[in-house]
Amino acid sequence: MSDYTVRTLRPDEHRAAVDLFRSTLHVVPTTDETWKLSERMLQPGRTLGAFDTELIGTARSFDAEVTLPGGARAGVAGVTGVGVRPDRTRRGILTGLMRTQLADIAARGLPFAALRASEGVIYNRFGYGVATRSRGYEIDRRRAVLRPDVPAGGQVELWSLDTALERLPALYESLPHTRPGMMTRPPYWWPGWERHAREATSPVVTAVHHGAQGPDGYVVYSVERKHWNDPAVLNIISLQTATSEASTGLWRYVLGVDLVDTLRAEERPLDELPELLFTDIRAVKDTGGGDELWLRLADVPAALAARSYAGEPVVLEVADPVLDGNSGRYRVAPDGVERTEETPDLRLGVDALAMIYLGAWRPSQLAAAGRIQPVAPSSLERADRLFATPVPAWCGTHF
């Protein structure tokens, strides 16, 4: 491990941290113009810097809330902006940043941290696990003929970018968070959306669905076409709805946009199945999915107690290599969670706990892969039932 220190950065050091992060992603530094937006993405007091003779690594987080199985919401630190200068990598700098950051998140009383990972090999060691998975698909517009029984849907209205920037935060907040893993979007999140929309090479369009009670869903998209005669792709950037009427209304709208050959969506819920709307079920092709939200239980007892369960109790023995206070045995049951000295049913790391926590993976699947050690194999069935969720977990918020 090299000689370095980690500390919280002052606001006047934020731009250097953002530019360092961008350089680790091979992206050009901010300009004075783009910095005006980027600086609003940083929650004061939440950006860490690692220094030897100068700034060599950074990581930051912002406060949000995540929806849990059962519908409760809990505090989560959205971790982002993680990077180490390429001439200082593989010397433990990220390890120092992660340890400091997780200790700080736990000390703030946040039960969870969460992130989107640039690579799949980095974050398990710090106790993060893949807690939501997503689906990508493409729709062949010409084959996507709606079945006659598809509900009509309401009116759809376009919002200009300025109107969207003003009104989307409240609309997003008003829509129900029906899936475990969905996150609130605090003021630190929206400037990133604005930057993306303003820097995009094709217009970013917001179409809002109006139901009987007013706006109840929206789709954000852009259409990309390389040359005039090339096929055009409508990329769905965001699609959030409160009702199935809003959903079918917005599908009718995007399928009706002219000069489009293909509709493409990525990072969508596993149970979002537009093919059910079409006369030809093969109008939709899977383009692959993958890991979406990586979750970290920063306060294991508080996190375990915050979600709902069904079935019979299970005793977990959790090992946390970073926040040792979390290690121990927990009796998890629908009527509550408590620390215990009882013999464990299952032994698992805190990263595997994150993988089962929102229901994305069954404990028996992780046990089959050696990621969970059942003390008694029959306990796996109980654990599968206890952690199961009726709808697949999905986050839908990129950060």
- Asked whether 268 and 134 are in contact (CB, 8 A), the reply is yes
C-alpha 180 chain-centroid distance: 11
Which residues, numbered 82-141, are part of the site for ligand ACO (CB under 6 A)?
82-84, 89-95, 115-119, 121-122, 125
Draw the binding track, 339-368, toward ligand ACO (x: CB under 6 A; -: no contact): ------------------------------
Nearer to ligand ACO, 82 or 306 (CB): 82
Distance linking the first and last C-alpha atoms of the chain? 30
Distances (CA, A) of 1 to 90, 96, 263, 336: 9, 10, 48, 42
Asked if 126 is an active-site residue, the reply is no
Nearer to ligand ACO, 96 or 359 (CB): 96
User: Cα(43)–Cα(40) distance, rounded to whole angstroms?
Assistant: 8
23 binds ligand ACO (CB under 6 A): no
- Minimum Å gap between C-beta 214 and ligand ACO is 36
C-alpha 256 chain-centroid distance: 30
Nearer to ligand ACO, 55 or 175 (CB): 55
When binding is defined by CB under 6 A, the residue of 7, 11, 25, 231 that contacts ligand ACO is 25
- Minimum Å gap between C-beta 25 and ligand ACO is 6
E strand residue ranges, the chain: 5-8, 47-51, 55-67, 73-84, 112-115, 129-130, 133-140, 155-159, 205-211, 214-224, 233-241, 262-268, 284-286, 290-291, 294-297, 314-319, 328-333, 336-339, 346-349, 372-374
Which residues, 6+ apart, have CB-to-CB distance to 117 below 8 Å? 123, 128, 291, 294
- Answer yes or no: is 118 a known binding residue: yes
In the three-class reduction of DSSP (H, G, I as helix; E, B as strand; rest coil), residue 204 is classed as: coil
- Minimum Å gap between C-beta 395 and ligand ACO is 13
Nearer to ligand ACO, 25 or 281 (CB): 25
Nearer to ligand ACO, 77 or 234 (CB): 77
Order across the sheet with 346-349: list the strands: 336-339, 328-333, 314-319, 346-349, 372-374
- Minimum Å gap between C-beta 94 and ligand ACO is 3
User: Cα(62)–Cα(77) distance, rounded to whole angstroms?
Assistant: 5
- Answer yes or no: is 139 a known binding residue: no
- Minimum Å gap between C-beta 8 and ligand ACO is 17
Q: Which residues pair with 264 in a beta bridge?
A: 138, 235
Asked if 387 is an active-site residue, the reply is no
Which residues, 6+ apart, have CB-to-CB distance to 342 below 8 Å? 315, 329, 331
Identify which range of 78-86, 152-160, 259-267, 368-376 contacts ligand ACO by CB under 6 A.
Answer: 78-86
- Answer yes or no: is 134 a known binding residue: no
Q: Which of 312, 314, 321 is nearest to 346 (CA)?
A: 314
- Answer yes or no: is 79 a known binding residue: no
Identify which range of 67-75, 76-84, 360-368, 375-383 contacts ligand ACO by CB under 6 A.
Answer: 76-84
- Minimum Å gap between C-beta 60 and ligand ACO is 9
User: Cα(275)–Cα(255) distance, rounded to whole angstroms?
Assistant: 13
- Minimum Å gap between C-beta 201 and ligand ACO is 24
- Answer yes or no: is 82 a known binding residue: yes
Catalytically annotated residue among 21, 123, 137, 357: 123
Catalytically annotated residue among 4, 126, 357, 399: 399
Q: Which of 33, 35, 28 is nearest to 14 (CA)?
A: 35
Identify which range of 62-70, 80-88, 138-146, 223-231 contacts ligand ACO by CB under 6 A.
Answer: 80-88
Nearer to ligand ACO, 131 or 367 (CB): 131
Q: Which of 84, 50, 80, 49 is nearest to 62 (CA)?
A: 80
Tokens of 304: 């375990």
DSSP label at residue 278: B
Question: Contacts with ligand ACO: how many residues (CB under 6 A)?
Answer: 23
79 binds ligand ACO (CB under 6 A): yes
- Answer yes or no: is 379 a known binding residue: no
80 binds ligand ACO (CB under 6 A): yes
When binding is defined by CB under 6 A, the residue of 8, 23, 24, 365 that contacts ligand ACO is 24
C-alpha 311 chain-centroid distance: 28
Catalytic residues: 123, 399
Binding site per annotation, positions: 82-84, 90-95, 118-119
Binding site per annotation, positions for acetyl-CoA: 82-84, 90-95, 118-119
Binding site for ligand ACO (CB under 6 A): 24-25, 79-84, 89-95, 115-119, 121-122, 125
